[in-house]
Amino acid sequence: MDADKQANIIDGKAFAARLRGRIGAEVARLKAEHDLTPGLAVVLVGEDPASAVYVRNKGIQTREAGMNSFEHKLPADTKAEDLLALIARLNADPAVHGILVQLPLPDHLDSDLVINAIDPAKDVDGFTILNVGRLGTGQSAMVPCTPLGCLMMLNDRLGDLSGLNAVVVGRSNIVGKPMAQLLLGANATVTIAHSRTRDLAAVCRNADIVVAAVGRPEMIKGDWIKPGATVIDVGINRVERDGKSRLVGDVDFAGAVGHAGAITPVPGGVGPMTIACLLANTLTACCRINGLADPATSV
Ligand SMILES: Nc1nc(=O)c2c([nH]1)NC[C@@H]1CN(c3ccc(C(=O)N[C@@H](CCC(=O)O)C(=O)O)cc3)C=[N+]21
């Protein structure tokens, strides 16, 4: 591929490293000025391969930013009452400012019930009803990490998003819906498309911004992308290719890179930003819990 085509690849890894640098500086300042160290508790129930990928990088990066990392690994057959008791302890622990319960949970656990047991002030995923409602009504919320990272990259690339046509492909509570709320809050014209959308290709061709979060490998084709559009690929799909295991996104990257004005790769795009935003949210939660002004951690 020639140098011109490489120029439009958004380097999420480098972007995330810059963001983590700013977070680290704010953490050091909190320590020096207020004797506070943000703490993030991650609760893992059972073994999920996608969650394992995520947790591996997260603990290291939390500590690298100068924060405390508390990991709670529970067996797959953990009873709801025991998980809820742990969450109650973390809610009450003054050293813990962020609580993340890895999803998906084993089938016997009701994830809505478990998530809503988290103190909304410590809900660094932004998944509790209170934070979802705050985001939807434009009130100060904890914002889900993946959509927040996507918005940061979009703002960096495009500046003002007012009046742009944004298509979010996927309607999950974790990515699609909060992404649409953030884009609406930024004055974009937002379409939420999904598996039942008619003529998805035509819907995408109208978009200045495509956020792909459907969880289907390379479903969004290159010729669905309007020339010059910005493409954010949230998908992380493990596939077998030529006998090797590889990660691919929800967008056919090779096909789309020649059409898009800018595109995130997989890996090295949205994934690293998700973790950086988790750290940013933990820092923000620590400041808010302690009555301090929000930190300056946007890049
Ligand atoms: N309560 C909850 N919150 C989450 O945010 C959450 C979750 N549960 N459960 C699991 C998923 C998955 N997830 C990832 C985040 C970053 C990478 C990431 O950094 N990926 C690297 C690739 C890593 C590799 O090379 O395997 C990249 O895209 O460059 C991956 C996956 C967060 N999740």
Dump pLDDT digits (tens) for 27-47.
Answer: 999 999 999 999 999 999 998
Over residues 36-64, mean pLDDT: 89
9 within domain boundaries: no
- pLDDT band at residue 49 using 50, 70 and 90 as cut-offs: confident
116 within domain boundaries: yes
- Whole-number average pLDDT of the chain: 95
At CA 239, angle to CA 237 and CA 242, rounded to 5? 150
User: Is the C-beta atom of 267 inside 6 A of ligand 1?
Assistant: yes
**Does residue 244 carry a catalytic annotation?**
no
203 within domain boundaries: yes
- pLDDT band at residue 3 using 50, 70 and 90 as cut-offs: very low
199 within domain boundaries: yes
Query: At 48, which CATH number?
Result: 3.40.50.10860
Catalytic residue among 58, 122, 177, 226: 58
Range of the domain at 100: 34-121
**Does residue 125 carry a catalytic annotation?**
yes
Measuring CA to CA, how many Å separate 105 from each of 74, 80, 114, 129, 146? 11, 11, 9, 18, 19
Give the distance from CA 293 to its chain's centroid: 23
- pLDDT band at residue 1 using 50, 70 and 90 as cut-offs: very low
Among protein residues, the one with the nearest Cα to ligand 1's atom 26 is: 53
Distance (angstroms) between ligand 1 centre and the Cα of 215 equals: 13
Shared domain for 177 and 78, answered yes or no, is no
Shared domain for 265 and 154, answered yes or no, is yes
Q: Are 9 and 232 in contact (CB under 8 A)?
A: no
Q: What is the ipTM of this complex?
A: 0.97
The answer to whether residue 150 scores a pLDDT higher than 60 is yes
User: Is the C-beta atom of 53 inside 6 A of ligand 1?
Assistant: yes
Predicted local confidence at residue 297, as pLDDT: 84
Over residues 209-228, mean pLDDT: 97
The answer to whether residue 256 scores a pLDDT higher than 50 is yes
Over residues 120-145, mean pLDDT: 98
258 within domain boundaries: yes
136 within domain boundaries: no
Predicted local confidence at residue 7, as pLDDT: 56
Shared domain for 41 and 96, answered yes or no, is yes
Catalytic residue among 125, 208, 250, 252: 125
102 within domain boundaries: yes
> How do beta strands 237-241 and 244-248 pair?
antiparallel
Shared domain for 267 and 155, answered yes or no, is yes
| Residue in the block written with tokens 């690293």 | 272
Predicted local confidence at residue 65, as pLDDT: 98
222 within domain boundaries: yes
Structurally, the chain folds into a number of domains equal to 2
- pLDDT band at residue 299 using 50, 70 and 90 as cut-offs: low
Shared domain for 174 and 71, answered yes or no, is no
Shared domain for 155 and 101, answered yes or no, is no
User: Is the C-beta atom of 272 inside 6 A of ligand 1?
Assistant: yes
User: Is the C-beta atom of 264 inside 6 A of ligand 1?
Assistant: no
Shared domain for 258 and 160, answered yes or no, is yes
User: Is the C-beta atom of 15 inside 6 A of ligand 1?
Assistant: no
Predicted local confidence at residue 230, as pLDDT: 98
Q: What six digits make up the tokens of 293?
A: 């002004």
Q: What six digits make up the tokens of 259?
A: 């059409």
Predicted local confidence at residue 59, as pLDDT: 93
**Does residue 102 carry a catalytic annotation?**
yes
Shared domain for 267 and 149, answered yes or no, is yes
Query: At 167, which CATH number?
Result: 3.40.50.720
- Known binding residues for NADP(+): 170-172, 236
Q: Taking the CA atoms of 237, 238, 240 and 243 in sequence, report the sign of the dihedral they define.
A: positive
- The more confidently predicted of residues 195 and 134 is 134
Among protein residues, the one with the nearest Cα to ligand 1's atom 20 is: 271
Shared domain for 117 and 175, answered yes or no, is no
Among protein residues, the one with the nearest Cα to ligand 1's atom 4 is: 102
